[in-house]
């Protein structure tokens, strides 16, 4: 069974993954990471119990106007799950040095490296030493396969940026899911990035992505529905007319 899901002016055919206990599928739920370096937003959303991790990047940290290491320490204190911190070097030697420094900030820091040959080489060294690595800026299934073979903990395909080019970002997620499921030794988690809408999240869940990193505004919209608001208003109006009180 498959669904054709409207997406802007285009549509993407999404085939949901069926969980079977005997297939080796160990995914229990989709993890929600929040994509921001705004500490107040992270603290507020973490209080809901819905935040499993955080992703940051140089642009988000620069937007905060604060020292990178200070922000990273504070986020790691708030969220016990993986917190992605991105290196800014582009060569292997300096990526590795930056990654090792960032990994010392807290045990839940995940080092984010770009999907380049130097990034993949750095990924292999860091993961071999027990450090979690998020390989970012993935735009093809071939790149995702390379990330998995380099031992990446997470690979981050950017669906929104592909959509901007008139392509189908969610088709990439489906391709990566199929490839990873073909090989038991590939245990890299698919971390859907560049999410622009609640529909992106729904499609990622239908495909069976492991993680979605979500801007705070989009995460908050997940609980909103016009019929929910209308139904609640009607219930409260009827209750008020009854003259009763629970407390």
Give the Cα separation of 237 and 231 in Å (integer).
Answer: 10
Residue with the two structure tokens 């999404």 = 14
Looking only at Cα atoms, what is the longest distance across the chain?
72
> What's the confidence (pLDDT) of residue 7?
46
Q: What was the pLDDT predicted at 11?
A: 47
Establish whether 202 is a catalytic residue: no
State the first-to-last Cα distance of the chain, in angstroms, to the nearest integer.
49
Q: Provide the CATH number for the domain formed by 24-221 in this structure.
A: 3.20.20.70
Helix axis angle for 68-78 and 39-46, nearest 10°, is 10
Q: In this structure, which long-range contacts are made by residues 90-95, counting pairs with CB atoms below 8 Å and at least 24 apart in sequence?
A: 90/114, 90/116, 90/118, 91/118, 92/118, 92/121, 92/122, 95/119, 95/122
Average pLDDT, the chain: 91
Residue spans of the domains in the chain: they are 24-221
**Residue pLDDT, tens place only, 126-136:** 999 999 999 99
Residue 27 has pLDDT above 80, yes or no: no
Reduced to 3 states (helix: H, G, I; strand: E, B; else coil), residue 54 is strand
Dump pLDDT digits (tens) for 114-171. 999 999 999 999 999 999 999 999 999 999 999 999 999 999 999 999 999 999 999 9
Contact 130, 109 (CB under 8 A): no
pLDDT given for residue 24 in this prediction: 42
Q: pTM value? A: 0.87
Catalytic site residue from 13, 31, 101, 112: 112
In the prediction, which pLDDT does 140 show? 98
């Amino acid at each position: 069974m498959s669904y054709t899901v409207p997406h802007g002016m285009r549509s993407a055919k999404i085939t949901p993954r069926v969980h079977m206990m005997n297939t080796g599928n160990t995914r229990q739920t989709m993890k929600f990471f929040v994509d921001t370096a705004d500490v107040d937003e992270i603290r507020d959303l973490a209080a809901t119990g819905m935040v499993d991790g955080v992703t940051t990047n140089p642009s988000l940290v620069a937007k905060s106007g604060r020292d990178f290491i200070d922000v990273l320490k504070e986020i790691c204190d708030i969220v016990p799950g993986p917190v992605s911190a991105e290196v800014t070097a582009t060569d292997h030697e300096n990526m590795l040095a930056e990654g090792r420094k960032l990994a010392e900030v807290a045990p839940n820091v995940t080092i984010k490296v770009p999907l380049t040959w130097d990034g993949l080489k750095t990924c292999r060294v860091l993961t071999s030493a027990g450090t979690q690595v998020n390989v970012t800026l993935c735009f093809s299934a071939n790149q995702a396969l390379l990330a998995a073979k380099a031992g990446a903990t997470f690979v981050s395909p950017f669906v929104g940026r592909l959509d901007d080019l008139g392509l189908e970002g969610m088709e990439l997620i489906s391709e990566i899911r199929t490839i990873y499921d073909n090989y038991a030794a590939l245990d890299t988690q698919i971390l859907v990035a560049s999410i622009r809408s609640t529909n992106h999240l729904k499609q990622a869940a239908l495909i069976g992505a492991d993680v979605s990193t979500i801007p705070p505004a989009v995460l908050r919209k997940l609980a909103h529905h016009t019929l929910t608001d209308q139904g609640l208003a009607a219930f409260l109006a009827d209750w008020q007319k009854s003259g009763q009180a629970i407390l």
